[in-house]
């Protein structure tokens, strides 16, 4: 047998070191005793003082119910930090993890960044179909692998300025996109090359008016049965892009709207354009109600579901859904204890209701949605109903997370600005790009 030269041995050893140095640990066997005294670490993304206080109150309730488990809470963790930490591994990493980005669930599940929850759910004998609304169950799993649970939800609907509606003689919020275009135009008051009041900011950079939020109001399918992008074949996409472009043009054109958009305050601050009266209607999540009230808005706020396509009027009431997802870090050595916290925060009715009341989010379980303890006023009820609507939807999870949505969104920018003129060719090219990106991620 020929002897391996020393240099070759060293090279082989170096390559072996390189290949093993960064490979994260995936410990799937949960052997810890959930009844033993232990401390687990929970990473979440909330950072506003009121939200941090609310989550701490929830943790306090959990610790009271589970005196053997202490929870160390770490806030302000976004997906980038979370993903990087989970890959780095190490003993100081989290046991329980959460993310605001439902569209990243496909990546979390397929890569193994979040542990498979199936054994825990089976052990706890939870029938999730009876506990959690279907869209929320959908966005917390990928290709049958459940690696997350929904921790409250966000439902998106229409906010409108009731005073502006009254002044313009509009009696009720629009239910179809045709009605919506008329109402938006009626509410728009130009002032020179700008606006005194804009009916609606339709541009894709208008905070929540992104492509997938618009698309939720059309019956659509992002992928065919083979997993290929169907945006070029499904007519709903062309209809949406055409409608939005017409809306942009009818409200003053892309350039004028962009210039006006640049006068808007921060989406998360008191100077949000809906709150300042710069726009009379806004597509937004349920949190806007609380934020608008905190900002001391002077006019009456109305809420309604977003309109639907004219030929799908019977589906009025649906909306876009997303929310926070919660899971277990695969490296955690305390997965049974971690599961106790996940189970408590996502399925315990009192916990879900208290947390939803505190941060003005939509509860993510049937019992909590119907709970008498849930603080529901007329404005908020709209969003509870949207969450319960079986036609409400969210984009499907993908192996490369939200990349396909940002690719489509990117085409949206091109089309609304007039840089891309051929819609059919643009959608085909975008679909090919989506397929290629997914292929690369496999």
Give the nearest distance from C-beta 17 to another protein in angstroms.
9
Give the nearest distance from C-beta 167 to another protein in angstroms.
25
Please give the DSSP secondary-structure letter assigned to residue 344: H
**Residue placing its CB nearer to another protein in the complex, 111 or 216:** 111
- Mark residues 30-59: x for contact with another protein by CB under 8 A, - for none: ------------------------------
User: Using CB under 8 A, which residues numbered 274 to 293 contact another protein?
Assistant: 285, 287
Please state whether beta strands 141-142 and 145-146 pair in parallel, antiparallel, or not at all (unpaired).
antiparallel
**Residue placing its CB nearer to another protein in the complex, 94 or 173:** 94
Instruction: Using CB under 8 A, pick the residue from 28, 37, 76, 78 that binds another protein.
Output: 78
Chain center to CA of 69 = 30
What three-state secondary structure class fits 190?
strand
Q: What are phi and psi of 32, to 5 degrees?
A: -75, 155
**Residue placing its CB nearer to another protein in the complex, 186 or 259:** 259
Report how far residue 331's alpha carbon sits from residue 431's, in angstroms, rounded to the nearest whole number. 36
Give the nearest distance from C-beta 12 to another protein in angstroms.
13
Please state whether beta strands 38-43 and 194-200 pair in parallel, antiparallel, or not at all (unpaired).
unpaired
- List C-alpha distances in Å: 259 to 74, 90, 248: 39, 48, 13
Q: Which stretch binds another protein (CB under 8 A): 82-90, 240-248, 342-350, 378-386?
A: 82-90
Q: Which stretch binds another protein (CB under 8 A): 14-22, 118-126, 157-165, 313-321?
A: 14-22
Give the nearest distance from C-beta 296 to another protein in angstroms.
21
User: Using CB under 8 A, which residues numbered 173 to 212 contact another protein?
Assistant: 205-207, 210
**Residue placing its CB nearer to another protein in the complex, 124 or 440:** 440
Instruction: Using CB under 8 A, pick the residue from 26, 35, 124, 242 that binds another protein.
Output: 26
Report how far residue 427's alpha carbon sits from residue 408's, in angstroms, rounded to the nearest whole number. 8
Residues 6+ positions from 341 with CB-CB distance below 8 Å: 40, 42, 62, 66, 69, 71, 96
What three-state secondary structure class fits 370?
coil
- List C-alpha distances in Å: 122 to 36, 125, 126, 156, 339: 21, 5, 6, 32, 12
**Residue placing its CB nearer to another protein in the complex, 35 or 190:** 190
Give the nearest distance from C-beta 359 to another protein in angstroms.
11
Give the nearest distance from C-beta 24 to another protein in angstroms.
5
Q: Closest Cα partner for 188 from 262, 266, 263, 281?
A: 281
Report how far residue 76's alpha carbon sits from residue 48's, in angstroms, rounded to the nearest whole number. 9
CB 334 within 8 A of CB 64: no
Q: Which stretch binds another protein (CB under 8 A): 53-61, 157-165, 179-187, 264-272?
A: 264-272
Residue 27 in the binding site for another protein (CB under 8 A): no
- Mark residues 146-165: x for contact with another protein by CB under 8 A, - for none: --------x-----------
> Is 144 exposed, middle or buried, given 0-12, 13-18 or 19+ CB atoms closer than 10 A?
exposed
Q: Closest Cα partner for 248 from 322, 185, 168, 318?
A: 185
User: Using CB under 8 A, which residues numbered 394 to 413 contact another protein?
Assistant: 400-403, 405-407, 409-410, 413
Report how far residue 216's alpha carbon sits from residue 319's, in angstroms, rounded to the nearest whole number. 6
Give the nearest distance from C-beta 127 to another protein in angstroms.
28
Instruction: Using CB under 8 A, pick the residue from 68, 90, 268, 425 that binds another protein.
Output: 268
Q: What are phi and psi of 327, to 5 degrees?
A: -150, -170
* Other Cβ atoms within 10 Å of 68 Cβ, number: 13
What three-state secondary structure class fits 85?
helix
Please state whether beta strands 194-200 and 321-328 pair in parallel, antiparallel, or not at all (unpaired).
unpaired
- Mark residues 84-123: x for contact with another protein by CB under 8 A, - for none: x-xx-----------xxxxxx--x---xxx----------
Instruction: Using CB under 8 A, pick the residue from 23, 31, 91, 92 that binds another protein.
Output: 23
User: Using CB under 8 A, which residues numbered 305 to 324 contact another protein?
Assistant: 322
Give the nearest distance from C-beta 372 to another protein in angstroms.
28
If binding means CB under 8 A, how many residues of this protein chain bind another protein?
62
**Residue placing its CB nearer to another protein in the complex, 155 or 309:** 155
Helix (H) or strand (E) holding 426: helix 423-441
* Other Cβ atoms within 10 Å of 312 Cβ, number: 17
**Residue placing its CB nearer to another protein in the complex, 196 or 300:** 196
Site residues for another protein per CB under 8 A: 14-15, 18-19, 21-24, 26, 78-80, 83-84, 86-87, 99-104, 107, 111-113, 154, 205-207, 210, 258-264, 266-268, 285, 287, 322, 400-403, 405-407, 409-410, 413-414, 417, 419, 433, 436-437, 440-441
């Amino acid at each position: 047998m020929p002897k391996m030269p020393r240099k070759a041995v060293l090279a082989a050893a170096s390559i072996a070191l390189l290949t093993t140095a960064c490979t994260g640990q995936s410990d799937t066997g949960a052997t810890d005793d959930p009844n033993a005294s232990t401390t687990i670490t929970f990473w979440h993304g909330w950072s506003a003082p009121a939200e941090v206080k609310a989550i701490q109150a929830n943790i306090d309730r959990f610790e009271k119910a589970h005196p053997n488990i202490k929870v160390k809470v770490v806030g302000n963790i976004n997906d980038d930090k979370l993903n990087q930490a989970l890959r780095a591994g190490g003993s100081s990493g989290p046991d329980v993890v959460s993310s605001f980005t439902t569209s990243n669930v496909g990546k979390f599940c397929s890569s193994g960044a979040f542990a498979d929850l199936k054994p825990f759910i089976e052990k706890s004998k939870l029938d999730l179909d009876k506990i959690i609304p279907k869209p929320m169950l959908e966005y917390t799993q990928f290709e049958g692998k459940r690696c997350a649970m929904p921790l409250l939800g966000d439902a998106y609907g229409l906010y409108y300025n009731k005073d502006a509606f009254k002044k313009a003689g509009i009696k009720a919020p629009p239910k179809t996109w045709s009605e919506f275009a008329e109402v938006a135009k009626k509410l728009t008051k130009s002032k020179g090359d700008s606006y005194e009041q804009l009916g609606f900011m339709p541009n894709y950079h208008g905070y929540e008016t992104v492509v997938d939020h618009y698309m939720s109001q059309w019956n659509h399918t992002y992928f065919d049965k083979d997993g290929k992008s169907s945006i070029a074949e499904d007519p709903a996409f062309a209809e949406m892009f055409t409608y939005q472009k017409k809306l942009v043009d009818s409200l003053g054109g892309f350039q004028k709207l962009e210039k006006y958009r640049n006068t808007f305050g921060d989406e998360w601050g008191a100077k949000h354009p809906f709150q300042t009266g710069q726009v009379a209607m806004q597509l937004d999540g349920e949190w806007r109600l609380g934020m608008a009230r905190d900002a001391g808005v002077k006019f009456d706020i109305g809420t309604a579901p977003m309109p639907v396509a004219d030929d799908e009027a019977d589906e009025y009431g649906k909306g876009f859904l997303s929310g926070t997802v919660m899971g277990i870090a695969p490296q955690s050595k305390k997965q049974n204890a971690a599961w106790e916290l996940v189970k408590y925060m996502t399925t315990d009715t009192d916990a879900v209701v208290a947390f939803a009341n505190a941060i003005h989010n939509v509860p993510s379980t049937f019992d909590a949605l119907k709970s008498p303890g849930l603080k529901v006023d007329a404005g908020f009820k709209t969003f509870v109903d949207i969450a319960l609507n079986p036609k409400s939807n969210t984009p499907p999870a993908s192996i490369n997370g939200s990349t396909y949505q940002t690719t489509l969104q990117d085409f949206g920018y091109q089309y609304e600005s007039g840089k891309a003129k051929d819609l059919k060719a643009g959608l085909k090219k975008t679909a090919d790009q989506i397929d290629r990106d997914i292929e690369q991620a496999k």
